[in-house]
Amino acid sequence: IARYRIPQPRSALAKAVRDHARAAMDVSDGLAGDLTKLLAASGVAASISTAAIPLSTPARLLLERGTVELETLLSGGDDYEILCTIPPSRLTAFTDEAQRAGVPVTAIGTISAGAGPRFVDAQGRDLVLSRLSYSHF
């Protein structure tokens, strides 16, 4: 609730993103929708491992209980995180800088030629989303 009411910007990550990222944006309208926007602007595709996406303890519990679907967590919004693409050759340096800055980072997928996102579950099955992001209208 506190993260929703008083989001904490990841300002400490700014230098690492500037030095290493090829593309970056905030995630506020849902990971799936904001990722789709980033990919379209960059002219690339991505394969995302849903099992690698970090979830808060409350979100994980809701998912495990069946109270909420993964699609809702991926598209719901109010994440207030940074989404960025880091070339494999810079990933270790980026992760090290993020750690020194006290900001946890997680690699959740890979970028490839093509268009749009592909979400894959822990068993390697495609997850087709009917909704990508929170809609303000």
Q: How far from 93 is each of 16, 37, 69, 83, 85, CA to CA, in Å?
A: 8, 26, 35, 17, 13
Q: Indicate the pTM of the whole model.
A: 0.90
- Inter-residue contact 48 to 35 (CB < 8 Å): yes
Segment 103-137, tens digit of pLDDT: 999 999 999 999 999 999 989 999 988 878 766 66
How far is it, in rounded angstroms, from Cα 101 to Cα 13? 7
The single-letter code of the amino acid at 47 is S
- 113 sits in the region (left: phi over 0; alpha: psi -120 to 50; else beta) called beta
Task: Please tell me the predicted confidence (pLDDT) of residue 107.
Answer: 97
For 107, phi then psi, to 5°, come to: -80, 125
Segment 20-71, tens digit of pLDDT: 999 999 998 899 999 999 999 999 999 999 999 999 898 999 999 999 999 9
The single-letter code of the amino acid at 113 is A
Cβ-based neighbour number of residue 93 at 10 Å: 13
